Structure 1
């Protein structure tokens, strides 16, 4: 049973509203174009001004899924625009950690939209601690489901307008294997990395990694390379394919640095890159041998195969040696 003092603290926080976090920039066409390019979205409503002018929207709009993008902090942690709140909307998680609920796993995230965003609009969001469920015991352990809602608004002279919400839910828990008191001191087993889902379409890639080969699927009819692997060529629709062993030389097309929540067994901060191979295809992989603040778009990289838990070999990428 949860500590009564913790329950009292948590209940006092439920419903608390945290102040505004502002966007650095207005909704703008360059960011929309770059986001669409990276995400593979080719709807002309977002990037073709002439086409968009002839639609019911009478001009360009931002993809709805970009709602959260406009108010992100950027490369550096907590780097928000002037006027943004310095309150911590995750203080309830910190309170739980003091009572032994040290682990966090994201459960789900839901975006909802009131209307599309238009060029020139400026956003901010506020956060509300929506709910903390009763203590639950799951296969992971015992803890609480915590739900926060980030409400997004467009600034307007006549009154700010709500345009969407982001619901974010996590499970804050005490791991199951930490509850049983061992009669003798035993070293806790280190969590292993989850294994990838392997299908008939992807098995060649993972088998290649085990042999320290970076294999890319190639259509034998038109020679188009494709990744992730797929059963049909995206260009000529042929089912016939073989593989090309990539050189491993690449550039950093984009990246993120994961800081929180920290999920074992990964190390943090955890840089993840969108890698563009010199053969022309992109893949997502971990970055090693470099700190997050030293990463640069366009940086030259080289593959480095790394084996984890004596059972899984992954292609990681490090800065190319001079």
Structure 2
């Protein structure tokens, strides 16, 4: 038997063992450590900046995206956990897939959770992928599915996916490699924020405004965090603002930037905040409360970004 044939045979044996864990429970009759409660809901909403009135008061419900929060076991773990998931991870470790990264999760919401609800859950190893090669390395995607219940009622389903992989070896840089162009990173444009970037291209800084309650918001979102309304229009920022907070970046170096440089959280006159660069002053002259004014800077043939300029007389 050739080395390649032996490798393929061992790989097939490994994947058969991995597949045998599909459908096996990773938690049975798990019980949440605490019932759904207002303090945890308040902490979550404060962290997320979510002021929707549905999440406070005597008739409040928990934000749907908190679904997994109620099932977390903390440092001491939770009851009902089986050995199947640990065995699966150990098998992958033995195969050289010693690194792990969470890739994504999917949630389905069936009924709202309310303060006082007692949570139980069951979890199953839903799938183990075939061998996959990524930029991180080669390994397997493992998906677990957790069904969250209140009594006998299904409240929601949480799918969680990880990649267990063998890290790829770093590639050696060609000795005669020439430095590439010093291009600024491109913004991620999607269906929710495309209008903002189209406005920037036209040298207009557009702020979303909920047509239901009038709340302004930035960054752009598909719905209003205050009233939950999906409809919106825009207002154009006046361009006036102040530095609300800032950091000075020294590391890591990046070819498109010359560290150290300041990155600031700008509070616009309209009341919303956005992250940008402060120009016109040295990085060590940026201060909280510094008045700034919007301008648009063209970095190359494709990229226009909003930045904020402080005059020298304002920082002298």
Aligned residues, how many? 201
Helix, strand or coil: the match of 2:96?
Answer: coil
Identify the residue that residue 124 of structure 1 maps to in structure 2: 120
- Compute the displacement of 1:245 (Å): 2.9
Alignment of 1:209 with 2:249, yes or no, is yes
- Compute the displacement of 1:138 (Å): 2.9
- Compute the displacement of 1:133 (Å): 1.4
Identify the residue that residue 245 of structure 1 maps to in structure 2: 287
**Partners of 1:36 and 1:207 in 2: CA distance:** 25
Q: Over residues 13-43 of structure 1, what are the superposed CA-to-partner deviations in whole Å (9 max), with x where a residue is unaligned?
A: 1110122332111112222122111211111
- Compute the displacement of 1:90 (Å): 4.3
Contact 1:217 1:225 in 2 (8 A): no
**Partners of 1:35 and 1:99 in 2: CA distance:** 39
Identify the residue that residue 67 of structure 1 maps to in structure 2: 67
Structure 1 residues 214-293: aligned runs within 5 Å? 216-219=264-267, 221=269, 226=273, 229=275, 245=287
Unpaired runs of 5+ residues, structure 2, are: 1-7, 173-183, 188-199, 206-242, 251-258, 278-284, 289-316
Correspondent of 1:176 among 147, 168, 184 = 168
Contact 1:218 1:244 in 2 (8 A): no
Correspondent of 1:141 among 115, 137, 141 = 137
Identify the residue that residue 282 of structure 2 maps to in structure 1: none
Contact 2:105 2:158 in 1 (8 A): yes
Identify the residue that residue 21 of structure 1 maps to in structure 2: 30
Structure 1 residues 82-121: aligned runs within 5 Å? 83-85=79-81, 87=83, 89-121=85-117
CA distance change for structure 1 residues 175 and 115 in 2, over 3 Å: closer, same or farther? same
Helix, strand or coil: the match of 1:150?
Answer: strand
Q: CA RMSD in A?
A: 3.7
CA distance change for structure 1 residues 230 and 32 in 2, over 3 Å: closer, same or farther? farther
Q: TM-score, normalised by structure 2?
A: 0.53
Q: Over residues 238-295 of structure 1, what are the superposed CA-to-partner deviations in whole Å (9 max), with x where a residue is unaligned?
A: xxxxx9536xxxxxxxxxxxxxxxxxxxxxxxxxxxxxxxxxxxxxxxxxxxxxxxxx
**Partners of 1:34 and 1:175 in 2: CA distance:** 37
**Partners of 2:246 and 2:269 in 1: CA distance:** 24
Helix, strand or coil: the match of 1:129?
Answer: strand
CA distance change for structure 1 residues 220 and 78 in 2, over 3 Å: closer, same or farther? closer
**Partners of 2:24 and 2:148 in 1: CA distance:** 16
Contact 2:104 2:160 in 1 (8 A): yes
Alignment of 1:8 with 2:16, yes or no, is yes
CA distance change for structure 1 residues 213 and 135 in 2, over 3 Å: closer, same or farther? closer
Helix, strand or coil: the match of 1:32?
Answer: helix
- Compute the displacement of 1:78 (Å): 3.2
Helix, strand or coil: the match of 2:85?
Answer: coil
CA distance change for structure 1 residues 136 and 125 in 2, over 3 Å: closer, same or farther? same
Identify the residue that residue 152 of structure 1 maps to in structure 2: 148
**Partners of 2:150 and 2:138 in 1: CA distance:** 39
Unpaired runs of 5+ residues, structure 1, are: 50-58, 183-195, 232-242, 247-322
Helix, strand or coil: the match of 1:62?
Answer: coil
CA distance change for structure 1 residues 139 and 64 in 2, over 3 Å: closer, same or farther? same
